[in-house]
Structure 1
Amino acid sequence: MASPQMFVAPAGMAAPRGHYSHATRGAGMVFVSGQLPVSSDGQVLHDAPFEFQARQVLSNVRAALEGAGSGVAQLLQVRVYITDIGLWPAFDAIYAQWAGEARPARAVVPVPVLHYGCGLEVEAVALG
Protein backbone atom coordinates (compact mmCIF):
# COMPACT_ATOMS: atom_id res chain seq x y z
CA MET A 1 0.00 0.00 0.00
CA ALA A 2 1.28 3.48 -0.91
CA SER A 3 2.29 5.92 1.76
CA PRO A 4 0.19 9.12 2.02
CA GLN A 5 3.07 11.41 0.95
CA MET A 6 3.04 9.76 -2.49
CA PHE A 7 -0.28 11.43 -3.28
CA VAL A 8 -0.03 15.15 -3.94
CA ALA A 9 -2.79 17.72 -3.32
CA PRO A 10 -1.23 20.95 -4.65
CA ALA A 11 -2.19 24.23 -3.01
CA GLY A 12 -4.27 26.48 -5.24
CA MET A 13 -5.93 23.68 -7.18
CA ALA A 14 -9.55 22.61 -6.88
CA ALA A 15 -10.01 19.19 -5.30
CA PRO A 16 -10.17 16.32 -7.80
CA ARG A 17 -13.69 15.50 -8.95
CA GLY A 18 -13.13 11.77 -8.70
CA HIS A 19 -11.13 9.08 -6.94
CA TYR A 20 -7.64 10.21 -7.96
CA SER A 21 -4.84 12.63 -7.06
CA HIS A 22 -3.68 15.54 -9.19
CA ALA A 23 -0.20 14.06 -8.98
CA THR A 24 1.64 11.13 -7.45
CA ARG A 25 5.32 10.65 -6.67
CA GLY A 26 7.22 7.40 -6.92
CA ALA A 27 10.57 6.01 -8.03
CA GLY A 28 11.96 9.54 -8.42
CA MET A 29 9.20 10.52 -10.82
CA VAL A 30 6.04 12.62 -10.76
CA PHE A 31 2.92 11.51 -12.60
CA VAL A 32 0.37 14.25 -13.28
CA SER A 33 -3.21 13.12 -13.84
CA GLY A 34 -5.05 14.43 -16.86
CA GLN A 35 -5.78 18.09 -16.24
CA LEU A 36 -8.87 19.77 -17.62
CA PRO A 37 -9.54 23.52 -17.75
CA VAL A 38 -10.75 23.80 -14.16
CA SER A 39 -10.09 27.00 -12.23
CA SER A 40 -8.76 27.02 -8.68
CA ASP A 41 -12.30 27.55 -7.36
CA GLY A 42 -13.49 24.40 -9.17
CA GLN A 43 -15.25 26.04 -12.11
CA VAL A 44 -15.05 23.94 -15.28
CA LEU A 45 -14.22 26.35 -18.10
CA HIS A 46 -15.68 24.28 -20.95
CA ASP A 47 -17.42 27.32 -22.46
CA ALA A 48 -14.29 29.51 -22.41
CA PRO A 49 -12.41 30.18 -25.64
CA PHE A 50 -9.97 27.40 -26.52
CA GLU A 51 -6.88 29.51 -25.84
CA PHE A 52 -8.15 30.31 -22.34
CA GLN A 53 -8.83 26.61 -21.72
CA ALA A 54 -5.32 25.75 -22.91
CA ARG A 55 -3.68 28.28 -20.58
CA GLN A 56 -5.74 27.03 -17.61
CA VAL A 57 -4.85 23.40 -18.33
CA LEU A 58 -1.15 24.21 -18.54
CA SER A 59 -1.39 26.29 -15.37
CA ASN A 60 -2.91 23.26 -13.65
CA VAL A 61 -0.13 20.98 -14.94
CA ARG A 62 2.49 23.43 -13.63
CA ALA A 63 0.75 23.65 -10.23
CA ALA A 64 0.58 19.85 -9.95
CA LEU A 65 4.26 19.51 -10.90
CA GLU A 66 5.37 22.18 -8.45
CA GLY A 67 3.14 20.78 -5.72
CA ALA A 68 4.99 17.50 -6.14
CA GLY A 69 8.40 19.18 -5.95
CA SER A 70 9.05 19.14 -9.69
CA GLY A 71 8.56 21.61 -12.51
CA VAL A 72 8.20 22.15 -16.23
CA ALA A 73 11.98 21.88 -16.75
CA GLN A 74 11.86 18.31 -15.36
CA LEU A 75 9.16 17.07 -17.75
CA LEU A 76 9.86 13.79 -19.51
CA GLN A 77 6.60 13.19 -21.37
CA VAL A 78 3.38 15.08 -22.06
CA ARG A 79 0.17 13.71 -23.56
CA VAL A 80 -2.36 16.10 -25.04
CA TYR A 81 -5.93 15.02 -25.77
CA ILE A 82 -7.69 17.52 -28.04
CA THR A 83 -11.23 17.47 -29.44
CA ASP A 84 -10.47 19.62 -32.50
CA ILE A 85 -7.14 18.86 -34.16
CA GLY A 86 -7.61 22.04 -36.18
CA LEU A 87 -6.80 23.92 -32.95
CA TRP A 88 -3.44 22.16 -32.67
CA PRO A 89 -1.36 25.09 -34.04
CA ALA A 90 -2.93 27.45 -31.46
CA PHE A 91 -2.23 25.00 -28.65
CA ASP A 92 1.32 24.34 -29.82
CA ALA A 93 2.12 28.07 -29.75
CA ILE A 94 0.74 28.43 -26.20
CA TYR A 95 2.54 25.26 -25.14
CA ALA A 96 5.87 26.48 -26.57
CA GLN A 97 5.65 29.67 -24.50
CA TRP A 98 4.68 27.70 -21.39
CA ALA A 99 7.36 25.02 -21.78
CA GLY A 100 10.18 27.41 -22.68
CA GLU A 101 13.42 25.49 -23.13
CA ALA A 102 11.86 22.17 -22.00
CA ARG A 103 11.21 19.78 -24.87
CA PRO A 104 9.77 16.62 -23.35
CA ALA A 105 8.54 13.75 -25.48
CA ARG A 106 4.96 14.45 -26.46
CA ALA A 107 1.93 12.72 -27.91
CA VAL A 108 -1.11 14.41 -29.39
CA VAL A 109 -4.31 12.39 -29.37
CA PRO A 110 -7.38 13.69 -31.22
CA VAL A 111 -10.51 12.54 -29.38
CA PRO A 112 -14.20 13.00 -30.13
CA VAL A 113 -15.21 14.21 -26.67
CA LEU A 114 -13.75 14.93 -23.23
CA HIS A 115 -15.36 15.06 -19.81
CA TYR A 116 -17.59 18.10 -19.14
CA GLY A 117 -17.35 19.08 -22.82
CA CYS A 118 -13.82 20.49 -22.46
CA GLY A 119 -11.64 21.13 -25.49
CA LEU A 120 -8.46 19.53 -24.19
CA GLU A 121 -6.85 17.51 -21.40
CA VAL A 122 -3.14 17.20 -20.62
CA GLU A 123 -1.27 14.61 -18.56
CA ALA A 124 2.45 14.49 -17.86
CA VAL A 125 5.40 12.60 -16.38
CA ALA A 126 8.41 14.37 -14.89
CA LEU A 127 11.45 13.74 -12.77
CA GLY A 128 10.76 14.31 -9.10
Structure 2
Amino acid sequence: MRLDMTGAPWGSSHSEPVRAGGLLFVSGQVPRDSEGRAVCVGDIVGQTRYVFDKLAAVLSKAGRDLGDLVVLRTYLVSRDTLPGYLTTRAEFLTSRPVCTTVFVAGLSDTDFLLEVEAVADAEGRRTG
Protein backbone atom coordinates (compact mmCIF):
# COMPACT_ATOMS: atom_id res chain seq x y z
CA MET A 1 0.00 0.00 0.00
CA ARG A 2 1.41 3.40 -0.98
CA LEU A 3 1.27 6.04 1.71
CA ASP A 4 -0.03 9.55 1.14
CA MET A 5 3.08 11.68 1.55
CA THR A 6 1.66 15.02 0.44
CA GLY A 7 4.04 17.74 1.58
CA ALA A 8 6.95 15.36 2.17
CA PRO A 9 10.47 16.74 1.65
CA TRP A 10 11.40 15.43 -1.78
CA GLY A 11 11.04 16.40 -5.38
CA SER A 12 8.80 14.72 -7.91
CA SER A 13 11.49 12.19 -8.83
CA HIS A 14 11.02 10.13 -5.67
CA SER A 15 8.33 7.56 -5.09
CA GLU A 16 6.27 7.43 -1.94
CA PRO A 17 7.16 4.86 0.71
CA VAL A 18 5.40 1.53 0.39
CA ARG A 19 4.02 -0.41 3.35
CA ALA A 20 4.05 -4.19 2.88
CA GLY A 21 3.92 -7.04 5.36
CA GLY A 22 4.70 -4.95 8.42
CA LEU A 23 7.58 -3.14 6.71
CA LEU A 24 7.92 0.35 5.28
CA PHE A 25 10.14 0.60 2.19
CA VAL A 26 11.62 4.07 1.59
CA SER A 27 13.13 4.91 -1.79
CA GLY A 28 16.67 6.24 -2.01
CA GLN A 29 17.04 9.66 -0.44
CA VAL A 30 19.50 12.04 -2.07
CA PRO A 31 20.78 15.51 -1.19
CA ARG A 32 18.27 17.33 -3.42
CA ASP A 33 16.08 20.15 -2.18
CA SER A 34 12.40 20.60 -3.03
CA GLU A 35 13.36 22.71 -6.05
CA GLY A 36 15.51 19.94 -7.51
CA ARG A 37 18.91 21.41 -6.64
CA ALA A 38 21.79 19.47 -5.08
CA VAL A 39 22.65 20.74 -1.60
CA CYS A 40 25.98 20.85 0.26
CA VAL A 41 27.88 20.12 -2.97
CA GLY A 42 31.23 18.49 -2.23
CA ASP A 43 30.47 18.11 1.50
CA ILE A 44 29.79 14.53 2.61
CA VAL A 45 28.93 15.58 6.17
CA GLY A 46 26.40 18.17 4.99
CA GLN A 47 24.89 15.83 2.40
CA THR A 48 24.64 13.00 4.93
CA ARG A 49 22.89 15.26 7.45
CA TYR A 50 20.50 16.48 4.76
CA VAL A 51 19.68 12.94 3.62
CA PHE A 52 19.09 11.66 7.16
CA ASP A 53 16.93 14.70 7.97
CA LYS A 54 14.85 13.86 4.87
CA LEU A 55 14.68 10.21 5.85
CA ALA A 56 13.55 11.15 9.37
CA ALA A 57 10.85 13.41 7.91
CA VAL A 58 9.59 10.66 5.59
CA LEU A 59 9.45 8.18 8.46
CA SER A 60 7.72 10.72 10.70
CA LYS A 61 5.06 11.34 8.08
CA ALA A 62 4.44 7.58 8.13
CA GLY A 63 4.26 7.52 11.95
CA ARG A 64 7.74 6.01 12.42
CA ASP A 65 11.21 7.32 13.30
CA LEU A 66 14.86 6.47 12.72
CA GLY A 67 14.74 4.02 15.64
CA ASP A 68 12.39 1.87 13.55
CA LEU A 69 14.97 1.32 10.78
CA VAL A 70 15.82 -2.31 10.13
CA VAL A 71 17.85 -1.95 6.90
CA LEU A 72 19.96 0.85 5.39
CA ARG A 73 21.50 0.61 1.93
CA THR A 74 23.95 3.37 1.16
CA TYR A 75 25.53 4.17 -2.18
CA LEU A 76 28.69 6.32 -2.05
CA VAL A 77 30.59 7.66 -5.06
CA SER A 78 33.98 7.65 -3.33
CA ARG A 79 35.76 5.59 -0.69
CA ASP A 80 37.20 8.85 0.63
CA THR A 81 33.75 9.86 1.86
CA LEU A 82 33.21 6.75 4.01
CA PRO A 83 34.67 8.09 7.30
CA GLY A 84 32.62 11.31 7.10
CA TYR A 85 29.50 9.38 6.20
CA LEU A 86 29.89 6.84 9.02
CA THR A 87 30.61 9.48 11.67
CA THR A 88 27.63 11.59 10.60
CA ARG A 89 25.28 8.61 10.25
CA ALA A 90 26.10 7.65 13.84
CA GLU A 91 24.73 11.03 15.00
CA PHE A 92 21.29 10.02 13.71
CA LEU A 93 20.96 6.34 14.56
CA THR A 94 19.53 5.32 17.93
CA SER A 95 19.36 1.67 16.88
CA ARG A 96 21.58 -0.61 14.83
CA PRO A 97 19.87 -1.48 11.56
CA VAL A 98 21.43 -3.94 9.13
CA CYS A 99 23.64 -1.79 6.90
CA THR A 100 25.15 -2.27 3.47
CA THR A 101 27.40 0.31 1.84
CA VAL A 102 28.24 0.08 -1.85
CA PHE A 103 30.66 2.22 -3.83
CA VAL A 104 29.30 3.23 -7.22
CA ALA A 105 30.65 5.04 -10.27
CA GLY A 106 27.97 7.72 -10.05
CA LEU A 107 24.44 8.66 -9.05
CA SER A 108 21.59 10.47 -10.81
CA ASP A 109 23.27 13.87 -10.32
CA THR A 110 27.03 14.31 -10.48
CA ASP A 111 26.86 16.55 -7.37
CA PHE A 112 25.41 13.75 -5.20
CA LEU A 113 27.97 12.01 -3.01
CA LEU A 114 25.48 9.52 -1.58
CA GLU A 115 22.05 7.96 -1.74
CA VAL A 116 20.40 6.14 1.19
CA GLU A 117 17.58 3.63 0.83
CA ALA A 118 15.82 2.28 3.93
CA VAL A 119 13.43 -0.31 5.27
CA ALA A 120 11.68 0.37 8.57
CA ASP A 121 9.42 -1.57 10.88
CA ALA A 122 5.99 -0.17 10.01
CA GLU A 123 4.35 -1.52 13.17
CA GLY A 124 6.80 -0.45 15.88
CA ARG A 125 7.82 -3.99 16.81
CA ARG A 126 11.54 -3.77 16.02
CA THR A 127 13.79 -5.69 18.40
CA GLY A 128 17.58 -5.79 18.55
TM-score (norm 1): 0.84
Q: Aligned-pair distance for 1:46? A: 6.5
What are the equivalent positions in structure 2 for 1:25-40 lying under 5 Å apart? 25-40=19-34
Rounded Cα–Cα distance in structure 2 between residues aligned with 1:39 and 1:48: 15
In 1, the alpha carbon distance for the partners of 2:8 and 2:91 equals 22
Q: Distance in 2 between matches of 1:77 and 1:8?
A: 22
From the superposition, tell whether residues 45 and 90 of structure 1 become closer, same or farther in structure 2 (CA, over 3 Å): same
- Equivalent runs, 1:31-70 vs 2, <5 Å: 31-45=25-39, 47-70=41-64
* TM-score under structure 2 length normalisation: 0.84
Alignment of 1:1-128 (within 5 A): 2=1, 6-9=2-5, 11-17=7-13, 20-45=14-39, 47-99=41-93, 101-117=94-110, 118-128=112-122
Q: Which has the higher helix share?
A: 1
Q: What are the Cα deviations for residues 14-61 of structure 1, in whole angstroms up to 9, with x where unaligned?
A: 3332xx523111222110100100124443226252211111111111
Q: CA RMSD, aligned part only?
A: 1.8
Gaps of 5+ in 2: 123-128
Q: How many residues align structurally?
A: 121
SS in 2 for 1:115: coil
In structure 1, runs of 5+ residues without a counterpart are: none
